[in-house]
Amino acid sequence: MTKQRPICPNCGSADISRDATARWCDETQDWTLSGTFDDMTCDDCGRETNGPDWIDAGSADAEIYVFEIRASESELPRGWYVRSAEGLNGPFDEEWKADREQETIEARRKRLFNCCADNLAPDWSRFASLTVGGCKVDPEDPGHTLGLVCDAEAQFWTVYARDKDGCSEAITDCGARAEADQVAQELYTLSGLEIAR
């Protein structure tokens, strides 16, 4: 059976909750769901619905998915949208255009945040600055990477974010120095963190 996920027909959010009754159970010593009602509320737009749309949860990453707005009562114009951690993009008049936009967002994540969890931007408030460093695989221990090597020796370059105590966290790896400098510049624009030399 393909797994499905209900989404809000008005804004496409998957953050919807359903009204229900719970009864106390002596045996489990906990509240047990005894019934659900038809009404669902969207935690994002606050609208109620009794007929959510459904997307294929098996292929759809909760952090990014394509959906269609058809509901005439929606504040959004009809069409296809991409919903992601970055925001809402659309409407597109055809599904393949929304799919292409999703690929663009995913490619951007892989370029800017390929060392971060789920390739998503970190919480920038934890950091004080950005820095670029050359890296190479440790010849004595191939599973281990050596950081802060000179450009002539580097095999790839990592953009790090440094916290207030000077500890660095890898944000993204790049194949070339110029690419790493370009990414650092983009991350500076996004985060406001200075690039330390």
- Closest approach, Cβ 56 to Zn ion, in A, equals 19
- Of 68, 93, 96, residue with least CA distance to 9: 68
- Closest approach, Cβ 134 to Zn ion, in A, equals 46
Q: Which is nearer to Zn ion, 67 or 113 (CB)?
A: 67
Q: Which is nearer to Zn ion, 43 or 153 (CB)?
A: 43
Contact positions vs Zn ion (CB under 5 A): 8, 10-11, 13, 42, 44-45
Q: Which is nearer to Zn ion, 44 or 179 (CB)?
A: 44
- Closest approach, Cβ 74 to Zn ion, in A, equals 8
Q: Which is nearer to Zn ion, 78 or 110 (CB)?
A: 78
- Closest approach, Cβ 58 to Zn ion, in A, equals 22
